[in-house]
Copies of this chain bind each other. A is one copy, B any other.
Amino acid sequence: MKFTLIVSLLLLTSVLTVLGQDKQSRKSKGHSSAVSEKGLIKVSVMYPFSEGKTFNMAYYESKHMPMVAAWLGDNLVKYTIEKGVASGIPNQPLPYMAIGIFYIKNLEEYQKAIAPNRDAIRADFPNYTDVAPVILVSEVVR
């Protein structure tokens, strides 16, 4: 009787441990891209397509975006990068070659973090593109 009780308690403990780790792993996902966006501020840096203009995605992904992201600290919830494929309207040109998006909690904090680094950001542009981006600040409502 005692032995069965011990075995069953051990079993129960191991199951609860697995359950706990499972919850933990979901919690730590908060900093990956698997977070709800509602209520966040988006800063979308959009690089317009135009014939003959270039964009180096490898550099943008490995150097430029991580550099800017590092300046944003805890205010940055996540960032995403997308590659323009086509216009969604037949026979229309591709609107943007690439978009980098910072999902942040607070716009003022973002501006404070970016201001002293604006020149460094601009100086990095020629390393990956020859177009000037359009930048949209928006609020995720759903």
A binding-site residues for B, Cβ under 8 Å: 1, 4-5, 7-9, 11-12, 15-16, 18-19, 22, 26, 32-38, 41-46, 57, 61, 65, 79-89, 92, 94-96, 99, 107, 134-142
Say yes or no: A137 contacts B15, CB within 8 Å.
Answer: no
Q: List 28 A-B contacts (CB under 8 A).
A: A7-B8, A8-B12, A11-B12, A15-B15, A18-B19, A33-B36, A34-B35, A42-B82, A43-B88, A46-B95, A57-B141, A61-B141, A79-B142, A80-B140, A80-B142, A81-B140, A82-B140, A82-B141, A83-B138, A83-B139, A84-B137, A84-B138, A87-B135, A87-B137, A95-B134, A95-B136, A99-B136, A99-B138
